[in-house]
Amino acid sequence: MTPPVSPPTPGRDTTDWQKIVAPYKVADTRRSLWQIANTLIPYVLIWVLMIQASKISIWLTLPLIVLAAGFLARAFIIFHDCGHGAFFKERRRNEIVGFITGLINFTPYFHWRHEHAIHHASSGDLDRRGAGDIWMMTIAEYEAASPRKRALYHFYRNPIFLFLISPILLFLIVQRIPWKSMRRRELKSIWLTNVALLAGTILMGLLVGFGTFIGLQVAVVWVTSSVGVWLFYVQHQYENVYWQRHEEWDYATAAVEGSSFYKLPRILQWFTGNIGYHHIHHLSPRIPNYNLERCHNENPMFQVEPVTLRQSLGCLRYRLWDEENMRLIDFQEYREMVSARSQPAIRPGKTVDQTI
């Protein structure tokens, strides 16, 4: 797969880049309100249809679940923009809309905002992994790991776990759990979200039946969260993605070369709120999602080689970071490297004993 490459490499001075993106960092209240309307109103209407369809046939319900998941993913992008302070000019509006859209995505707003800010501040930094990213080992770390840790890593990086099991665990369970290490505001965010979700579940359960509501809710969140993890994976897990040790790490380079331009079909781009322009988003998170495409189209420096939907499937095989060659490799390539390493050196005039 051809990786996205940014011409030219930004370097350490980002002044010019920030001047270029500045005009796009302005939130438009009318566009933001329209996006809320064309996302949340259809989402509520689809829920009404899902509840009615569930009384007739599961086969009528399934396509509605997928459609609802699409609108929920779009609501997550609104939540995401609010977390960056990009969706509205006013901080309070971002917090209110962020809490509501986070609630329907089972995500505590302030806790997620804190974790995601760390992700943006450390993306591509090999010495600051672990906050809001996908577990990735270097070859050296993998070779130094115990057999148990290697087995756990293989399990974690298996697509079935990574895209089908872990997303629902993360959104329904992990994000419900407060930790002592969290700051007070994050703890309050988790508890308030949990209480609101419990109250909403009880109310909806009394109105339409607990089995019906919980079954539909879990199905919609499962589809949305799986799609969300896939998007995040493709945005940061491709062959020549940028990773550097901290002393060599550069924010602007990490943003543009360490995040893909995921070119999706127009309908999927709409449902995912232009998040495919991830290289621009990482360079300037304050750009609202509805300005990302215009920023890309009007500035040739952002028109990097894209990862298409078909090409993105190739990202599934990447597992380990090869620091020497600065790229991600799969386990098969790693085994070939190990095998080549173990071959005896052949000196001039000598042959290798074929019985070894």
pTM exceeds 0.75, yes or no: yes
Q: 7 is written with which tokens?
A: 């011409």
Q: Give the pLDDT confidence score for residue 13 in this predicted structure.
A: 45
Encoded amino acid at 191, one letter: W
CB within 8 A of 45, min separation 6: which ones? none
Name the percent of the chain lying above pLDDT 90: 77
Higher pLDDT, residue 130 or 246: 246
CA dihedral 71, 74, 75, 81 (to 10 degrees): -170
CA dist 7 and 239 (Å) reads 18
Average pLDDT over residues 242-261: 90
Residue among 343, 345, 319, 344 at smallest CA distance from 333: 319
Which class for 299: exposed (0-12), middle (13-18), buried (19 or more C-beta within 10 A)? Answer: middle
For residue range 177-211, what is the model confidence (pLDDT) as tens digits?
A: 998 888 899 999 999 999 999 999 999 999 999 99
Average pLDDT over residues 70-82: 98
Q: pLDDT-based confidence at 347, cuts 50/70/90?
A: low
Per domain, the residue ranges of the chain are: 15-134+158-313
For residue range 30-58, what is the model confidence (pLDDT) as tens digits?
A: 999 999 999 999 999 999 999 999 999 99
Average pLDDT over residues 135-162: 95
Q: Give the pLDDT confidence score for residue 5 in this predicted structure.
A: 37
Residue 11 has pLDDT above 80, yes or no: no
C-beta atoms surrounding 34 within 10 Å = 12
Q: Give the pLDDT confidence score for residue 46 in this predicted structure.
A: 98
Q: Give the pLDDT confidence score for residue 263 in this predicted structure.
A: 94
Average pLDDT, the chain: 90
CA dist 196 and 5 (Å) reads 44
For residue range 291-325, what is the model confidence (pLDDT) as tens digits?
A: 999 999 998 888 888 999 999 999 999 999 999 99
Q: Give the pLDDT confidence score for residue 349 in this predicted structure.
A: 54
CA dist 196 and 101 (Å) reads 12
Residue 289 has pLDDT above 70, yes or no: yes
Q: Give the pLDDT confidence score for residue 344 in this predicted structure.
A: 65
Q: Give the pLDDT confidence score for residue 165 in this predicted structure.
A: 96
